[in-house]
Chain A
């Protein structure tokens, strides 16, 4: 028997390579778990049947050519394209869209012989923080199905938490990997902007979007990140990012025995739930007891990251969403003339939150407001990034809670968009400044006898993911 609850990539690798289990056995165990739990949780939109992939992975193993991810079942967020499979971004407008090519991350995983087990639910076009904005249904939190799984990568986090996949890919624009990982009690990595190719990721806010892994532990997120990262001629930000980090394609980061961890006290203490605060403080105490140095820091202007985000992100959304016009792909609702075709298609097939962000973005980009909002936000973004760089001259890492509160109830925030946006308060900073961040389960708050997971977020300087993995693994065993 395979114990899916405790299985890690390394253990699965050992079992597959020693022929203790076959690729089909492992996949079958996960598919059985999905059949058992998905009707309730609704993490998966579709379970793929890809026998050729299974046969190929088994052949690689049998020939002694296995790679770290050969035969490993991975769930894919519905905004990352796989040739020949549907990819809808959980939107009605792409309900029947079948992708004609592979995203670069998919190409890299295919080379490994990884198994794409299915596509998982999300907020429509990654716009939301609860997966309640999916056109196809809400993904519930596997730990407490009255509560949200978080979002926008709620399906990815729930898939891993319900043991429906060993790992999952998500995307993070303002916290969409870390927040659901925190809510579902799993690990989520938002890599450095530009370290992972976005080719084949449906664009939401192009200056912020990044693909990253969600897994049960830090080591597994590292294994996946090491495979998917790297320069890609099809996404020029990957080469720009590497140019900043140094010309060498493989950046060597020296890990440390202990880390100096900064805590922006004044910033995090505003609005943190008492139970989150308690878990956060105890995490810091554990890290200090293990020999790490905890210091109070201030990141000037950091409180403006959320307003900056809610100007720049909708501006980019309004541009990126213009491609969904019913002409080249996706759904079409016909009107009297071409203008009416556009309006009815977009009005009828895009969800409320997507429309809200498009209009907001159209407003902040319109003449007369452009300087006051969009340009101003970019200037503040630049200042915050400079301030962050200065802070990293003093500390190795920054610690914050991932979210101000544990998973909220389904429906609790759907009528108040601003309340939903405030969920992102601790996560958007890493996107605004482009640095990597990881959410690691730190403890459980309790509600009605059910444990609600709370995550610790560690943030590192650009391209120092290895510090997150190293310190994260040290934290995991405390």
Chain B
């Protein structure tokens, strides 16, 4: 069961502000889509077949070594940030003095 509260909770988990109007239509959409995809539960998959880790193939990893000189991309990347100071991205204060 999807309620308006479910939608509000999901939006909060996903860090998305939504309007009341959006909440109503998203609730209806999610209900319909979930009712459709729930079909897969009628497929018999053996117990203990595992999840993603056993079926998604194996990871291919490279050596953990540094491939570029420190700081070579810094200027380029920081330039893209909406708020920055020197070589840093800046965000609003997370912990206030009293926390």
Contacts and interface: CB of A to CB of B under 8 A. Distances in A.
Q: Are A and B subunits of one complex?
A: yes
A367 to B, nearest CB: 11
Interface in B73-99: 73, 76-77, 79-83, 89, 91-94
Given A360-B33, A379-B45, A380-B43, A327 B91 contact: yes
A100 B77 contact: yes
Contacts of A379: 43, 45, 49-51, 55
B3 to A, nearest CB: 12
A307 B36 contact: yes
B41 to A, nearest CB: 6
A217 interface: no
Contacts of B76: 100
A325 interface: yes
Nearest to A233: B62
A318 B14 contact: yes
B61 to A, nearest CB: 7
A383 B43 contact: yes
Interface string A358-377: 11101100100001111111
A308 interface: yes
A355 B91 contact: no
B70 interface: no
B40 A311 contact: yes
Given A100-B76, A355-B16, A376 B41 contact: yes
A81 B11 CA distance: 29
Contacts of B57: 240
B17 interface: yes
B92 A341 contact: yes
B80 A329 contact: yes
Interface in A307-363: 307-308, 310-311, 318, 322, 325-332, 337-339, 341-344, 346-348, 350, 352, 355-356, 358-360, 362-363
Interface in B11-65: 11, 13-18, 22, 26, 29-30, 32-34, 36-41, 43, 45, 49-52, 55-62
A206 to B, nearest CB: 10
A341 B91 contact: yes
Contacts of A322: 14-15
Would you call the interface of chain A mostly helix, strand, loop, or mixed?
A: helix
Contact of A308 (B17, B22, B40, B77): B40
Given A240-B57, A381-B55, A304 B82 contact: no
Contact of A325 (B15, B29, B37, B40): B15
Contacts of B10: 359, 362-363, 366
Contact of B15 (A243, A310, A339): A339
A239 interface: yes
- Quick one: which of B37, B39, B41 has the most chain A CB within 10 A? B37
Contacts of A326: 82
A371 B45 CA distance: 12
Contact of B18 (A240, A301, A347): A347
A362 B14 contact: yes
A236 interface: yes
B91 A338 contact: yes
A372 B41 contact: yes
B16 A358 contact: yes
A260 interface: no
A378 interface: yes
A418 interface: yes
Nearest to B94: A338
A307 B62 contact: no
Contact of A356 (B26, B43, B51): B26
Nearest to A331: B82
A31 B84 CA distance: 38
Contacts of B58: 240
A322 B16 CA distance: 10
A275 to B, nearest CB: 26
5 contacts: A100-B80, A207-B56, A304-B40, A332-B83, A378-B51
Interface of B: 2, 6-7, 10-11, 13-18, 22, 26, 29-30, 32-34, 36-41, 43, 45, 49-52, 55-62, 73, 76-77, 79-83, 89, 91-94
Given A355-B11, A359-B11, 19 more contacts: A97-B80, A100-B79, A236-B59, A240-B58, A301-B43, A310-B36, A311-B37, A311-B40, A328-B80, A331-B82, A343-B16, A347-B17, A363-B30, A373-B37, A374-B51, A378-B51, A379-B49, A382-B49, A418-B33
Q: Which 8 A-B pairs have the closest CB atoms?
A: A347-B17, A332-B82, A375-B51, A379-B45, A329-B80, A382-B55, A343-B17, A342-B15
